[in-house]
Every structure is written in structure tokens, then in C-alpha cells.
Amino acid sequence: MSKKVFVGLSGGVDSSVTAALLKQQGYDVTGVYMKNWTKDMPGFDCPWMEDYQDAKKVALSLDIPIKIYDFEDQYRQKVVDYMIDGYKSGITPNPDIMCNQEIKFKLFLETALEDGADMIATGHYARIVDGHLMTAVDDQKDQTYFLYRMSPDSITKSIMPIGEFVKSDVRKLAQKFKLPTATKKDSQGICFIGKVGIKEFLITELGPQKPGPIVDDQGKTIGKHDGAIFYTIGQRHGLDVGGGLPYYVTGKDMEQNIVYVSTNLNHEQLWKKTLNITQFHFTYPGYDVSSKSMQVRTRYRAKLINCKLSVKGDQAIAELDDQVRAITAGQSAVFYDQGFCVGGGIII
């Protein structure tokens, strides 16, 4: 008897091809649309209904059943509120990582298993090899950076078939399978607010923020910001301070509502060789990193940097071979060993 796999059908081409490949491979496939976010933003209508209709068209074309799981309340609490709280505290959180940890590979997995599934599948660019999370064949699309907080159990119960393909081949497969999403453009932006900028989203949720001073290296006020919450380390654009050389954000004081900047691209706050990490999570429990030279990625698509990693409990320190620019508190550092995603944590 073939295994029952519930595929997260988002209405995009990647998840559509995932469902088609699994059906071709003989799995008993059911599509599931996760209704996570339906709220419209100023100047931007949430496309959830359009995406759901596209997911239904894909299910119809593949002759598979489709369900809808309503996770909106849990998503608001676990992902959206987490992100807003992070910005309010002065860090730059990553909601896509939290969405994978709490919604797709926890809530969706648990709900699907209770609903009769043996496994789940998603359209992520990553590979699962012998129960281990591995980078995708397509370096440019690899999404293990967003998946490193998956539990070992969720890894063994998940399938990610398109991790074996480059994006152009996924598009060709969509045409070969005659999928209605074959020419649909990839979604852009943060997982739930699409093309709306983070600043616009935060203003919608929290209202306008209190203006404050922009202060340079010499302690001189050179401009005014419209809310320290909106600025991240290394940011260059959107400062509106004028003058000759470009300014870069080097720090901020949330209590005093000050944003600190410098024209010095080599400013010590902009470059780091040591990462302090909290909430460290192993995709392989008990993995010994002490004797190995690891590689770390400090943001999505950033180049891999060789490093030494030491972990004690859920705290970790990484000593990098090269300095990395604009390390930002709240973002994730994700570690690799020859293509295997070992785990990672939150930069502090």
C-alpha cells in the first residue's frame, strides 16, 4: 500500500511540481492549502484567495484531493507577533524561519499525521538524505538557511523532492506536467506580507513611531529618523541625512530612541569575526562540532565562511576565518559540514 503524503500546496510552481513528482513516484497524494494570513495591507491586497484557487486548479489537474487547514490564529501568535516583538526590542527577526519551525514542520505536520498522513511534503529547495537535512542541488535557491530549526523527527517525516533540481528544470517539469501554475511568477518578500515593505507593515500594526536623532561618530546629531525600530545594522539607504559620503547604521539605542551612523565602512560595529549565538538548535542531536572546521551562513544567500564552532547548551560561539559585514542581532547563523545542515541559532 502506497504511503499517504500531504503536500503543502501554496499555489506556486514549486509546491505544484512537488505534488506532481510525488504522484508520479506512486505516493497517495493529498494537497493541503495552509490559510495562514488573509489580512490586506494599505495598497496591497493579500493574495491568499487567488493562491488557494491556484492550488485547487493544480489539485484538479493532478486528480488529487485538496484540503484547507486554517492556521491563521496560530500563525499570528507564533510568527507575526514574534516578528513584531523582535522589532520592538531592537533586533531584526526572521519570520520565515519561525514559520517553518512552528507552522509548516510542526503544526502542519502534526495536523496532517492526525488526519491520516504518513508524511508531509513541501516545495522547499533542500534535500533530506538518510534523515539528514542537506543543501539543494541549486546553490542559488537553497533554502536550508530557513529550515535549520526543523526537529529531527520532522526531518524524517518530510519529503522535499525539488531539492534535486535547479529552478529552470522545475519550470520545465511544470510545463511537462501541464500544471496551471507553470508560468506563475515566484512570490517575493516576507512570507506573509508579500510585496509590502517591513516598514509599512510595522506602521500598519504599531502606528507611526516616535522620531529621534541620528548621531554620527563624533556624537553630533546630523539628522532625524522616523523610528529606531525601522533600522538595521549596516543599512545605508533610507537615512535621508544628505551630505557627501554615504552613512551606514552602526547601532541603535531603543530606550533613548537614537540611531548611530558612520561614514567609515570599516567601522568596528560593521564587521565581526566572532558570533555570539543563543537558542542554538541541532538538526542532528549530539552532533560533535568541536573537532571540525565548519562553515557558516549569516544571511540567506550569503557566502559560506569557514569557522570553528563551540556549543554549550543552547549557547554557541563561532570564530570565523574572515570578517563578515553587517551582522545583525535577531538574524540566524546557520552551520554546515560538507553540504549537511548541522543546525544554527539566533545572533545576539
pLDDT averaged over the chain? Answer: 95
**Per-residue pLDDT, 42:** 79
* pLDDT tier at 192, thresholds 50, 70, 90: low
* pLDDT tier at 194, thresholds 50, 70, 90: low
Among this protein's residues, is 341 annotated catalytic?
A: no
Q: Is the pLDDT of residue 190 over 70?
A: no
> How many Å apart are CA 309 and CA 112, to the nearest integer?
36
**How does pLDDT run across 88-131, given as a tens digit for each residue?**
999 999 999 999 999 999 999 999 999 999 999 999 999 999 99
* pLDDT tier at 242, thresholds 50, 70, 90: confident
* pLDDT tier at 224, thresholds 50, 70, 90: very high
Helix intervals (H) in the chain: 13-24, 48-62, 72-75, 81-88, 95-99, 108-114, 144-147, 152-156, 167-176, 198-206
**Per-residue pLDDT, 240:** 81
Tell me what the mean pLDDT of segment 330-340 comes to.
97
> pTM, whole model, 2 decimals?
0.95
Tell me what the mean pLDDT of segment 20-30 comes to.
98
CB-based burial label for 255 (10 Å; 0-12, 13-18, 19+): exposed
User: Is residue 8 within 8 Å of residue 67, measured between CB atoms?
Assistant: no
> Which is it for the CA torsion 277, 264, 145, 289, positive or negative?
negative
**Per-residue pLDDT, 197:** 82
Ordered by where they begin, the domains of the chain are 4-176 (3.40.50.620), 208-262 (2.30.30.280), 271-347 (2.40.30.10)
Among this protein's residues, is 191 annotated catalytic?
A: yes
